[in-house]
Amino acid sequence: MIYYSRKYPFSVPTINDLYGPIAVSASMIPIDDSPIVRDGNAVILAMDHGLEHGPVDFEEVPEKLDPATVFETATHDAVTAMAVQKGVAEGYYPSYEDDVNLLVKLNGTSNMWMGEPDSAVNCSVDYAAEIGADAVGFTVYSGSNHEVEMFEEFRRVQEQAREYDLPVVMWSYPRGQGLKNDTKPSTISYATRIALEIGADIAKVKYPGSEEAMAHAVDCAGDMKVVMSGGSKTSDYEFLSTVEDTMNAGANGLAVGRNVWQRAEPEPILDALEKVIYGGQPAEAALEE
């Protein structure tokens, strides 16, 4: 059996080793060898907003309601994976499977209801693998009154993903009536630590407001990769300087939606992101022609 490792390949004794030829042997594939990682970092282009936020996110860029337009954007070299829900993957990924790595988001929720944060599991790991996923994604709202169920759902997803060698990206979002500020430094550090401890390969967290706070969140993540969540659209410089801080903090890139595809022309910002994330350039230099 092959397992993904965040860092080191390793073997564990199997029933086969212990009792004879019953099971296959075990080894691990380092996350850095996954197609969703380039030179240790990742840029995951997310487009599940039609579910999470609704068509309102497309008002300024109505042409992006057609998922094919965002899949086109994901063919940029900077992008290591495109994160979508099952229905969009089924309909559009077959045309892009040679050019785009697919991350299937396994749970999701609309914003049409009120209550403690929760997210329905709407795709299985088996089905994600069947439709060509290179990785799976799962939101966990730690701190919600539904935390226990979400942790248990994550456990099933994480263990099954190991069977398919699929890295698990956790949208690690502490959220709920007990949490007044979901981007507080201590909350984001807790978010990365939870993701490490329950077995994510990459944790996607909100920016905690400063490079120092992000550095602490990265320290809390041990050997697991941390990527920043893009957030609502801001100016090129404001967005890129936050990415620069994130990289300086030792994080590993970005999972981003609106800050890329809500731009009429996403290519220049992806060119700049490539320079900051893989080339180590400062934001200002990356924005120069």
Q: Name the residue nearer to ligand FBP (CB basis): 53 or 156.
A: 53
Residues with Cβ within 8 Å of 56's Cβ and at least 6 positions away in sequence, in order, are none
Considering only residues 198 to 237 of the shown chain, the ones binding ligand FBP according to CB under 6 A are 229-231
DSSP-H helix ranges across 109-210: 125-130, 147-163, 185-198
Q: Name the residue nearer to ligand FBP (CB basis): 18 or 180.
A: 180
For the bound state, the minimum distance from the C-beta of residue 19 to ligand FBP, rounded and expressed in Å, comes to: 44
Q: Is 80 in the site for ligand FBP (CB under 6 A)?
A: no
Residues with Cβ within 8 Å of 159's Cβ and at least 6 positions away in sequence, in order, are none
The 3-state DSSP class for residue 44 equals: strand
The 3-state DSSP class for residue 256 equals: strand
State which of residues 36, 43, 45, 46 lies at the interface with ligand FBP (CB under 6 A).
Answer: 46
Site string for ligand FBP, 256-275 (x = CB under 6 A): xxxx----------------
State which of residues 71, 154, 171, 278 lies at the interface with ligand FBP (CB under 6 A).
Answer: 171
Of the residues 204, 206, 225, 275, which is catalytic? 204
Which long-range CB contacts under 8 A does 276-283 form with residues at least 24 apart? 276/240, 276/243, 276/244, 276/247, 277/41, 277/43, 277/78, 277/243, 277/247, 277/253, 278/38, 278/39, 278/41, 278/78, 280/247, 282/244, 283/237, 283/240, 283/241, 283/243, 283/244
Q: Phi and psi of 200, rounded to 5°?
A: -75, 155
Count Cα neighbours of 159 within 13 Å in the Cβ-side half-sphere: 5
Q: Specify the stretch interacting with ligand FBP by CB under 6 A; choose among 16-24, 49-57, 151-159, 207-215.
A: 49-57
DSSP-H helix ranges across 232-282: 236-248, 258-261, 267-277
For the bound state, the minimum distance from the C-beta of residue 242 to ligand FBP, rounded and expressed in Å, comes to: 11
Query: CB of 175 within 8 A of CB of 182?
Result: yes
Considering only residues 126 to 155 of the shown chain, the ones binding ligand FBP according to CB under 6 A are none
The residue nearest ligand FBP at its CB is 230
Catalytic (active site) residue 225? no
For the bound state, the minimum distance from the C-beta of residue 256 to ligand FBP, rounded and expressed in Å, comes to: 4
Q: Total number of residues binding ligand FBP (CB under 6 A)? A: 14
Phi/psi class of residue 181: alpha, beta or left (left: φ > 0; alpha: ψ in -120 to 50)?
A: beta
For the bound state, the minimum distance from the C-beta of residue 229 to ligand FBP, rounded and expressed in Å, comes to: 5
Residues with Cβ within 8 Å of 265's Cβ and at least 6 positions away in sequence, in order, are none
Q: Is 48 in the site for ligand FBP (CB under 6 A)?
A: yes
For the bound state, the minimum distance from the C-beta of residue 272 to ligand FBP, rounded and expressed in Å, comes to: 16
Considering only residues 50 to 69 of the shown chain, the ones binding ligand FBP according to CB under 6 A are 52-53
Q: Is 119 in the site for ligand FBP (CB under 6 A)?
A: no
Q: Name the residue nearer to ligand FBP (CB basis): 5 or 246.
A: 246
DSSP assignment, residue 145?
Answer: T
Q: Name the residue nearer to ligand FBP (CB basis): 105 or 275.
A: 105
Q: Name the residue nearer to ligand FBP (CB basis): 28 or 44.
A: 44
- Give the footprint of ligand FBP on this chain (CB under 6 A): 46, 48-49, 52-53, 171, 229-231, 255-259
Catalytic residues: 204
